Copies of this chain bind each other. A is one copy, B any other.
Amino acid sequence: MTLLVVSAHAGDFVWRAAGAIALATSRGRRAKVLCLSFGERGESAKAWREGRTLDEIKKIRRGEAENAAGVLGAEIEFLDAGDYPLQETPELVDRMVRVYREVNPSVVLTHQLADPYNGDHPAAARMALQARVLAQAIGYDAPGEPLGAPPVFFFEPHQPEQCDFKPNVLLDITEVFDTKRKAMECLPAQQHMWDYYTDLAKRRGVQVKRNAAPNLGLPHHTMGEAYMRLYPQVTGELA
């Protein structure tokens, strides 16, 4: 049972999926974050304004992301593929196929396929989906066994409605929210986001309660994360 998180930039997996990651690792599962870039050009405005060089910025963002992954109990790997733009290339997809074959994830998280504010996010998602399908093919020339059909969940973009993000899964992250907050605090350059995403977790928590089956007895301060499931849920019970 392994969770694979494909993140365009170094911070995305923290704001959008830290709850899911912490839930998995708190239950003894492996979680691996694959960062395609460091967000060095597009999501490091503060460092650029301070006059840092590109290499310095990459190093800073890498360190922050490693810290956050550490707090979450997750492994992290960087492909350093560049951002703004994150170019879609066959070579990058091939590297991702190899990660899929190595990790053999039972669940995959990545970005939503639309985001008119940030082209790297859908590019990462398209490659994550393409690599997953390629990794399933026995004839694809990469080490390891063909992949099964792990479900894919899109995590929440910054402006969900503008990205056609209609959540169909609400994840209760109350029990690990403190861990998520600590992971967020590993990213000091984006301090305004700590409260922003705490507020969002409260908001999604309200929706968790509103949509829950009766009598679950959820606590008053339920915290949540929202996801979109791409493929149909396979189940042995409607619930």
Taking Cβ atoms with an 8 Å cutoff, the residues of A that contact B are 3, 20, 23-24, 27, 40-42, 44-45, 48-49, 54, 57, 84-85, 87, 90, 93, 104, 106-107, 109, 116-119, 129-130, 133-134, 137-141, 147-151, 153, 158-162, 164-172, 196, 199-200, 202-203, 206-208, 210-216, 226-227, 229-239
Contact = CB atoms under 8 A, between A and B. Distances in A.
A86 to B, nearest CB: 11
A233 to B, nearest CB: 5
Given A41-B140, A45-B138, A134-B84, A199 B203 contact: yes
A107 B238 contact: yes
A234 B211 contact: yes
Contacts of A104: 214
A106 B213 contact: yes
B148 A214 contact: yes
Nearest to A1: B239
A133 B210 CA distance: 12
Given A168-B229, A207-B159, A208-B234, A116 B129 contact: yes
Given A159-B207, A200-B203, 10 more contacts: A109-B238, A148-B212, A148-B213, A151-B213, A158-B210, A162-B231, A199-B199, A199-B203, A207-B232, A227-B238
**Identical chains in the assembly:** 6
Contact of A137 (B42, B202, B208, B235): B42
Given A85-B130, A233-B233, A237-B23, A159 B49 contact: no
B170 A233 contact: yes
18 contacts: A41-B139, A41-B141, A44-B139, A45-B138, A45-B139, A84-B137, A106-B213, A106-B214, A147-B214, A148-B214, A150-B214, A162-B231, A169-B233, A171-B235, A172-B234, A172-B235, A199-B202, A226-B232
